[in-house]
Amino acid sequence: MFRGSITALITPFKNGEVDWKAFDDFVEWQIQEGTHALVPCGTTGESPTLSHEEHNAIVKRCVEIANKRIPVIAGTGSNSTKEAIALITHAKADGADAALVVTPYYNKPTQEGLYAHYKAIHDAASLPILIYNIPGRSVVDMNVDTMARLAKLPNIVGVKDATGDLARPAEVIQKIGYDFCQLSGEDATTAAFLAQGGVGCISVLSNIAPRLFSEMHEAWFRGDVKAVAVIRDQLAPLAKNLFCESSPAPVKYAASILGICSEEVRLPLLPASENARALIDSAMAHAGLTQGSSPKIAHG
């Protein structure tokens, strides 16, 4: 259903407000660069600091610009089931192709609570749902048995796996099967995740290197393992350094270098520090990313 390089879109800001012109141009650029699908209003889009009105407007605008050329997977998660239902209902009405729903953060539901949360969202809106399992931010980890129960519901179609556990994809295949869409949530281990049975990555890195990240996936799909390794190594410093401080501050700094948008983030996040900037500058040079450039694949 979904595969390849899927960008977890940053939300451009200007003087505290959404920079709509920058957002429009950014979405179009992502499509032209070969990105396979888009995720507006995920964590990378600073969803915790967006008002409900901003959240819904961003999803709607992304759907309009994409215009069915590539899928739009709207971030609609919340630690309030009622709020998540409201967000997914809006996303469905606005024409999103699917929803990405994060495991509830802070309130730490049990596995049974996780099941009940996702089932309620599933039953409220007829839209394909990807589970977003990210224990590092949510504290809770949905185990594979709970995921297998949820996968029996017709619109629970896959997972964004940000556990960092590379044994997990194979275990999911054993218990759920190959039709369950497994997408990585960790840029640095994308190639390994694909090798373990994954079909793509919902990526921070592809905000600034969409063509390279897309080409890495295309190389995997056609069985060109050498090309995968070359691009993996070209992007490896970026995959690490974009997380040297709380995301999305580092990737927004990188985006500002490329002229995509300002580096502005919303409190409680702060712009990337001088140390982070130096790390990102070095990683971008390694990847061949400069303003106005169209980076080429390095030859190993």
pLDDT top residue among 256 and 292: 256
pLDDT for the residue numbered 10:
98
The CATH-assigned architecture of domain 4-225 is Alpha-Beta Barrel (3.20)
pLDDT band of residue 127 (cuts 50, 70, 90) is very high
Nearby residues of 170 by Cβ (< 8 Å), 6 or more positions away = 196, 197
**CA angle at residue 170 from 164 to 172, to 5 degrees?**
90
pLDDT for the residue numbered 144:
98
The active-site residue out of 118, 160, 252, 253 is 160
* Amino acid of residue 271: P
pLDDT for the residue numbered 126:
93
pLDDT for the residue numbered 296:
55
- The first and second tokens of residue 75, run together, are 């971030």
- Say yes or no to pLDDT of 300 above 60: no
Q: What is the mean pLDDT of residues 111-124?
A: 98
pLDDT for the residue numbered 1:
79
Query: What is the C-alpha to C-alpha distance for residues 234 and 228, in angstroms, rounded to an integer?
Result: 10
| pLDDT tens per residue across span 35-91 | 999 999 999 999 999 999 999 999 999 999 999 999 999 999 999 999 999 999 999
**Nearest alpha-carbon partner for 160 in 195, 184, 129:** 184
Phi then psi for residue 213, to 5 deg, are -70, -40
pLDDT for the residue numbered 293:
56
The active-site residue out of 118, 132, 252, 253 is 132
In contact, 215 and 294? CB cutoff 8 Å: no
Phi then psi for residue 183, to 5 deg, are -115, 135
Active site residue 132: yes
Active site residue 240: no
- Say yes or no to pLDDT of 297 above 70: no
Nearby residues of 32 by Cβ (< 8 Å), 6 or more positions away = none
- Say yes or no to pLDDT of 251 above 80: yes
Name the percent of the chain lying above pLDDT 90: 96
Phi then psi for residue 87, to 5 deg, are -70, -40
- Say yes or no to pLDDT of 299 above 90: no
**Average pLDDT over the chain, rounded to an integer:** 96
pLDDT band of residue 92 (cuts 50, 70, 90) is very high
Please identify which residue in the block is written with the tokens 């140390």: 275
pLDDT for the residue numbered 286:
97
Distances (CA, A) of 149 to 1, 68, 112, 142, 172: 20, 31, 10, 11, 12
| pLDDT tens per residue across span 202-238 | 999 999 999 999 999 999 999 999 999 999 999 999 9
In contact, 58 and 41? CB cutoff 8 Å: yes
- Say yes or no to pLDDT of 298 above 80: no
Query: What is the C-alpha to C-alpha distance for residues 65 and 52, in angstroms, rounded to an integer?
Result: 20
Query: What is the C-alpha to C-alpha distance for residues 270 and 183, in angstroms, rounded to an integer?
Result: 29
200-203 and 4-8 strand pairing: parallel
Handedness of CA 87, 28, 162, 155 (dihedral sign): positive
User: Of how many residues is the chain composed?
Assistant: 300
Q: What is the mean pLDDT of residues 14-32?
A: 98
Q: What is the mean pLDDT of residues 177-202?
A: 98
Q: What is the mean pLDDT of residues 108-125?
A: 97
